[in-house]
Amino acid sequence: MVREGCEPATIARRAGGDTTMVYETTSRLCDELFERIDWAALGAIYCDDGGEAFWDEHRGPALVLGVTWADALGRRVARGGRSLYVGAGVAELVPMLHEAIDLQRRVVATNRRDDECEVLNAALAAVGVAADVLRIEPVDARARLQAGPFDHVSVVSVLSDPETWPTVGAVTYGRMPPVLLDVGAFVRERDQIVDIVDGIGASLASQAVLTTTVEEVPWFLAWADRVQAHIEADDEVVESALVGDPIGFLEIELHDG
C-alpha cells in the first residue's frame, strides 16, 4: 500500500502549484499502480540489505514528487511529441504516465536492469496500461534511439551512477582524492558516457527539452560545444525522490548543418 496520507487530493496539495492537469486523468491510476508494485522484489534489486525499509521510506515521496516533476514537465512539452527516458524507474513513473496518457505523447522508456523492468511492467499491466502506451524496455538506451527524433529526453541520475561508472561517480560527487584517481579507468568510463551522450544528442529534434540533474549537465554542455548546439538552462528546479540530485530542465536548439 502507498503510505498513509498520500491520497490524490493530499498529493496535489503537497506538490503545490496547479496540478489539476497532471492528476485529472492519472491520479487514480498512479495511486493504484503504486499499490500494485512488488516493493519487496524492488527492494532486493535496489539494496543488498534493508530493501523493504528503503521503499517504505521512499515510495510515498516518489509518488508526491513525481506529481511535481510531471507538472513542471507538462508546461514544457507539447502534445503529440516523443520522449525518451533513459534509466526509467519508480521515480519516472508519474511523469511518463502523464506524458503518455494526458499529453498523448509517444514515450520510449529504457532501463538496463531486466529484473526491474519485469517488476514495473507487471504493475503497469495489472492496472491496465497497455504495452503500446508505456512499457519499460530492458535494453541499452542506444538500441532505442532510432525511435526518435525526440523533443524531450530524461536522463536523471544516470551518467553519475556509481554502480555503472564507479570512477566517474566518485569524481562527480567528490568522494575520490585526485591522488587516488585511476586515470585509465576514468578515461574508459568517460568515453563510454560521451558515446551515450553523443547518441542521445543525435536523436534530438531541432528544438528539445532535456530533463537532467546538475551533476549531469556538464556532459551535455560538452556535447553542445562539440556540435555547436545552443543550450539554455531553465531557472526551475524540482526535487528528486530517490537520489536527492536536483532535477532541472535544459532547452536545446540544434543548428542546421
pLDDT for residue 2 is more than 70: no
pLDDT for residue 5 is more than 80: no
Residues 18-74: tens digit of each pLDDT: 444 555 667 788 989 999 999 999 988 877 666 778 888 888 888 888 888 998 999
Question: Which domains occur in the chain, in start order?
Answer: 78-253 (3.40.50.150)
First CA to last CA across the chain, in angstroms?
52
The pTM score is 0.86
Cell of 168: 566517474
CA 194, CA 238: separation in Å to the nearest integer? 26
- Length of the chain equals 257
Cell of 57: 521510506
Cell of 118: 519485469
Section 199-217 average pLDDT: 94
Phi-psi category of 179—alpha, beta or left, where left has phi over 0 and alpha has psi -120 to 50?
A: alpha
CA dist 206 to 92, 100, 188, 198, Å?
A: 24, 21, 30, 15
